[in-house]
Amino acid sequence: MYDPQMRVETERLILRQPRLVDLDAWAEFMADPETAVPVGGVQPRPTVWRGLATMVGAWAMNGFGMFSAFEKSSGQWVGRLGPWHPEGWPGTEVGWGILRRYWGRGYATEGAIAATDWAFANLGWTEVIHTIAPDNANSQAVARRLGSTQLRTAVLPTPFQGFAVDVWGQTRAQWEQQRARLPLRHLAEAASA
């Protein structure tokens, strides 16, 4: 369900459900070809608004969706990441996308660890996947740091028809087995009373 009080914290990030006030940052993310191409391509602001509304709606309809991720030290929006499974998707995904100026800080990995923990704890998933373009070496490196391996290839559904991806992932049992070796732990999950 959509709950504006819900949030997950890591050492350096706050993950919360997206809101309309995040639109400027989401639009910046989707206007940059380096960050937007791997997640469907550059989009004009009205299309980004619809995408943001889709994420908010996913939380309301499904009880999960991507989080808006904020840097604790600055309060700045750094990206969007988290659980995602729209109709026709090749599996239960935890995905990530970080603004380019925040690349190289480990935020994708840190946020994806917390989001994967949250998804397995709250959604009853038995597998987490990551759909990654075959030439996206940065996201492949994040998937490896999470302990995921390449499982298969897939073609995404509309509106991404024809977009071929490598599907990386792992089972819940694999995650639980290797989770203690991952260096980052989420600190807290706050929910409304």
Q: What are the residue ranges spanned by the domains of the chain?
A: 7-126+172-190
Nearest CA to 102 out of 81, 116, 84, 131 is that of 81
d(CA 42, CA 36): 5
Give the CATH number of domain 7-126+172-190; options: 3.30.530.20, 3.30.70.141, 3.40.630.30, 3.40.50.800: 3.40.630.30
H-type alpha helices, the chain: 23-31, 33-36, 45-62, 107-123, 137-145, 172-178
Q: What is the DSSP letter of 68?
A: E
Determine the pLDDT at residue 38: 66
Determine the pLDDT at residue 174: 96
For 116-168, the pLDDT digits (tens) are 999 999 999 999 999 999 999 999 999 999 999 999 999 888 877 778 899 99
Other Cβ atoms within 10 Å of 113 Cβ, number:
24
State the residue for tokens 């700045």: 76
% of the chain with per-residue pLDDT over 90? 73
CA distances, 45 to each of 83, 148, 186, 188 (Å): 23, 33, 32, 33
Mean pLDDT of the chain: 89
List, for the chain, all residue ranges whose pLDDT scores fall below the cut of 70.
Answer: 37-41, 183-193
